[in-house]
């Protein structure tokens, strides 16, 4: 620019040359040549104080050869600077006014500027405008290149930090670009030059190489994108897993470039495989745990079944007063032991998620009556009044799990009676309607017992915890009853809470969600079934049981109702005797089937029986099992059994079950 100014100074024989940039009313010196070099770039003036204001007004070359004798003799530029001669022209850059190029001197010229001189300065202005445009474009290009380099550097740094490489395949020349992270992942030198062939060869031979090749071919042919996990073998032979993504870039419908990302996910894949392995181990452990529970349930319940069964049979014999008392103590001890075992098994089932709930219609009052009837003898022994109060549940039919509802009520009543020595224990029920067809059932058990401190209440629902150590020593129990109650309530979309005052008593409130049955025409006055003992002497029962004690117990129970029966030791013997008896005039009417037996268990035996072609195939089969897990019931029904009795078998429950099949 200075060279162009010097060219003008020499041509016009004027001492001052300026290239200005004008924005609004601000005149800025961009380049200048002056006699003492005292006019510096960046110097600013008011546009109106310069001759250039007239040049811009005419929008063409303008000149004055003797300003003092012209119409601008009073112009601020002449008055302040005394410039007599001036020639200037507008500078236009990319169609927009930029400023001016002008030359001037303090001495006047002898004659006006010629047409050739005016044409020359216009030529100079065009030249300067082009140079400024070129310079601006070059500056912009450099800035863009600098920005792109910075962005590339940032991408590389981000790739290094995130461990994500970038790749690009130019289909116009076949060149493959890898970022530095890509090269690091593949363990190659930074001067390594990849191509499509050697790039694909890093993928492990077989399924991985076939998949990535197909992905690239599909992108080249149809566009789109892909992503997947692939195993590679690095230059140094290290196996790695990579997450690979690719995208096609199209030009007029034709794929011209593939771009993508590449991330080392070896640690993630290894962690995932370890988690899957641990999950598999955990599943096996849970399966082993379930099997252990089933076996433990069977092994523990089998002898208790013998004890309680024989005690029930002995109770029917002639005993004197002292023997009856001893028998009662033995039954209470055996029942307490069974309760402890049931608590532990129930807690374990709930804790492992193995407890399944059933939903069936029940008579709420009947369930509560049964619970109260069970605990009435204990209340009378302690001279405690046991009261049932129904707020709005009289005649209510609800849909819930009756077994677990009884268990909740029984746990709360048992707990209240255990810690109450005088006064009263009451159970109150209330139904609160919620959404359509659903309600919240609240069961509140209030006692006048020993009560609890705030610290004791905080620990009350934790497993294996009681109020304090002396509680276990004084009252016994596992400390699981209330914990099981809470877990059952939570499984039934509710919870349990307590309010208590030390030495005054407690109120335990359990809430569960239940379904509501539409009331029938007779729901207000439910019909009470008349208890009637049915004659079972016409039954002919086959007992399939391997345990000798259980054989005696079941046999004695059947004898007391004059039931004809035969006993076999396992499934094979059962099938053999059924084969003989299929043409008998007195065929079996029912089978009591133990589930765990040597040679052939109860499930397999039942399946074989159901496949027989004779009438034997339809004989009702009742499962007798010491396994108390919920899966056991499902397994029995799945094998073809009709009903299910859990050991220890209660004599009354057995007779009730048999009456179903008369």
Query: What's CA 394's distance to the chain center, in Å?
Result: 43
Architecture of the domain made up of 2-139: 2-Layer Sandwich (3.30)
Long-range contacts of 32-36 (CB under 8 A, 24+ apart): 32/5, 33/2, 33/5, 33/6, 33/9
Three-state DSSP state, 23:
strand
What is the Cα Rg of the chain in Å? 50
Burial class (CB in 10 A: 0-12, 13-18, 19+), 184: middle
Determine which of 62-71, 243-252, 315-324, 535-544 has the lowest per-residue pLDDT on average.
Answer: 315-324
Mean pLDDT (the chain, rounded): 85
- In 180-224 the beta strands, taken as DSSP E runs, fall at none
Q: Could you give the CA distance from residue 264 to residue 240 in angstroms, rounded to a whole number? A: 7
At 526 the pLDDT is 36
Q: Could you give the CA distance from residue 415 to residue 421 in angstroms, rounded to a whole number? A: 12
Of 294 and 493, more confident:
493
CB atoms within 10 A of CB 574: 27
Peptide bond just before 646 cis, omega within 30 deg? no
**For residue 573, which of 537, 600, 536 has the smallest C-alpha distance?**
600
Residue with tokens 């049915």, as numbered in its chain: 534
Query: Would you say 611 and 275 are in contact if contact means Cβ atoms under 8 Å apart?
Result: no
Three-state DSSP state, 244:
strand
Report CA-CA distances (Å) from 446 to 388, 500, 505: 11, 10, 7
Structural class in CATH, domain 540-659: alpha beta
At 477 the pLDDT is 47
Q: Which two tokens stand for residue 553?
A: 């117990």
pTM assigned to the model: 0.45
**For residue 240, which of 260, 267, 213 has the smallest C-alpha distance?**
267
Does the pLDDT value for residue 476 go beyond 80?
no
Query: Would you say 194 and 242 are in contact if contact means Cβ atoms under 8 Å apart?
Result: no
How confident is the model over 47-56, as pLDDT tens digits? Answer: 999 999 999 9
On the CB side of 378, how many CA atoms lie within 13 Å of its CA? 17
Of the options 3.40.50.300, 1.10.3720.10, 3.40.30.10, 3.30.450.20, the CATH number for the domain spanning 163-264: 3.30.450.20
Does the pLDDT value for residue 254 go beyond 60?
yes
Q: Using 50, 70 and 90 to split pLDDT, how confident is the model at 521?
A: very low
Sheet holding 175-178, edge to edge: 175-178, 164-170, 254-264, 239-251, 225-233
Count how many residues are written for the chain: 662
Mean pLDDT value of segment 564-573: 94
Q: Using 50, 70 and 90 to split pLDDT, how confident is the model at 518?
A: low
Percent of the chain with pLDDT over 90: 50
CATH topology match: 163-264 vs 356-516:
no
Domain residue ranges of the chain, discontinuous segments joined by +: 2-139, 163-264, 356-516, 540-659
Mean pLDDT value of segment 50-68: 93
Phi, psi at residue 614, to the nearest 5°? -85, 180
Three-state DSSP state, 175:
strand
Determine which of 12-21, 276-285, 507-516, 558-567 has the lowest per-residue pLDDT on average.
Answer: 276-285
Of 209 and 373, more confident:
209
Structural class in CATH, domain 356-516: alpha beta
The DSSP string of 639-660 is HT-SEEEESSPPHHHHHHHHHT
At 151 the pLDDT is 62
At 461 the pLDDT is 79
Report the DSSP pairing between strands 44-46 and 26-33. antiparallel
């Amino acid at each position: 620019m200075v060279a162009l100014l010097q060219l003008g100074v020499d041509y016009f024989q004027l001492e001052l040359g300026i290239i200005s940039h004008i924005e609004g009313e601000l005149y800025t010196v961009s380049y200048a040549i002056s006699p003492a070099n005292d006019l510096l770039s960046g110097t600013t003036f008011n546009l109106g104080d310069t001759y250039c204001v007239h040049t811009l007004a005419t929008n063409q070359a303008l000149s004055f050869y003797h300003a003092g004798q012209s119409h601008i003799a009073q112009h601020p530029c002449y008055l302040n600077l005394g410039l007599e001669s001036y020639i200037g022209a507008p500078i236009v850059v990319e169609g927009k006014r930029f400023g001016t190029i002008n030359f001037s001197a303090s001495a006047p010229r002898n004659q006006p500027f010629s047409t050739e001189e005016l044409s020359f300065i216009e030529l100079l202005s065009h030249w300067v405008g082009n140079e400024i445009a070129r310079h601006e474009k070059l500056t912009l290009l450099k800035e863009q290149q600098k920005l792109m380099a910075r962005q590339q550097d940032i991408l590389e740094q981000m790739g290094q930090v995130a461990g994500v490489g970038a790749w690009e395949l130019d289909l116009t020349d076949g060149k493959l670009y890898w970022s530095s992270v890509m090269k690091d992942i593949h363990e190659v030198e930074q001067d390594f030059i990849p191509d499509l062939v050697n790039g694909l060869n890093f993928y492990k031979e077989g399924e991985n190489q076939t998949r990535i090749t197909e992905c690239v071919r599909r992108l080249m042919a149809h566009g789109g994108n892909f992503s997947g996990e692939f195993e590679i073998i690095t230059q140094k032979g290290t196996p790695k897993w990579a997450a690979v993504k690719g995208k096609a870039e199209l030009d007029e419908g034709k794929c011209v470039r593939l771009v993508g990302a590449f991330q080392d996910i070896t640690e993630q894949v290894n962690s995932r495989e370890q988690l899957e392995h641990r999950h598999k181990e955990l599943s096996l452990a849970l399966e082993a745990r379930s099997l252990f529970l089933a076996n433990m349930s069977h092994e523990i319940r089998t002898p208790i079944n013998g004890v309680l069964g024989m005690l029930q049979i002995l109770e029917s014999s002639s005993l004197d007063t002292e023997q009856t008392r001893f028998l009662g103590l033995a039954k209470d001890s055996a029942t307490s032991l069974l309760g402890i075992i049931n608590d532990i098994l129930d807690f374990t089932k709930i804790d492992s998620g193995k407890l399944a709930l059933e939903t069936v219609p029940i008579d709420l009052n009947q369930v509560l009556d049964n619970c109260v009837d069970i605990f009435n003898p204990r209340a009378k022994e302690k001279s405690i009044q046991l009261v049932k109060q129904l707020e709005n549940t009289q005649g209510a039919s609800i849909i819930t799990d009756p077994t677990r509802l009884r268990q909740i009520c029984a746990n709360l009543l048992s707990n209240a009676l255990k810690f109450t020595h005088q006064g009263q224990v009451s159970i109150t029920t209330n139904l609160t309607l919620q959404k359509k067809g659903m309600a919240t059932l609240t069961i509140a058990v209030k006692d006048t017992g020993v009560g609890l401190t705030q610290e004791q209440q905080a620990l009350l629902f934790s497993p294996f915890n009681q109020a304090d150590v002396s509680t276990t020593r004084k009252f016994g129990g596992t400390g699981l009853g209330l914990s099981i109650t809470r877990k059952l309530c939570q499984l039934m979309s509710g919870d349990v809470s307590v309010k208590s005052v030390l030495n005054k008593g407690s109120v335990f409130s359990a809430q569960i969600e239940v379904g509501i049955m539409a009331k029938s025409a007779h729901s207000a006055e439910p019909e009470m079934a008349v208890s009637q003992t049915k004659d079972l002497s016409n039954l002919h029962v086959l007992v399939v049981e391997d345990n000798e004690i259980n054989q005696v117990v079941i046999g004695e129970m059947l004898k007391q109702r004059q039931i004809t029966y035969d006993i076999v030791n396992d499934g094979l013997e059962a099938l053999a005797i059924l084969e003989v008896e299929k043409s008998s005039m007195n065929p079996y009417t029912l089978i009591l089937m133990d589930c765990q037996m040597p040679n052939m268990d109860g499930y397999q035996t039942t399946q074989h029986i159901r496949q027989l072609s004779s009438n034997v195939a339809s004989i009702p089969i009742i499962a007798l099992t010491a396994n108390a897990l919920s899966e056991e019931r499902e397994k029995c029904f799945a094998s073809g059994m009709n009903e299910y009795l859990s050991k220890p078998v209660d004599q009354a429950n057995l007779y009730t079950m048999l009456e179903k099949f008369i």
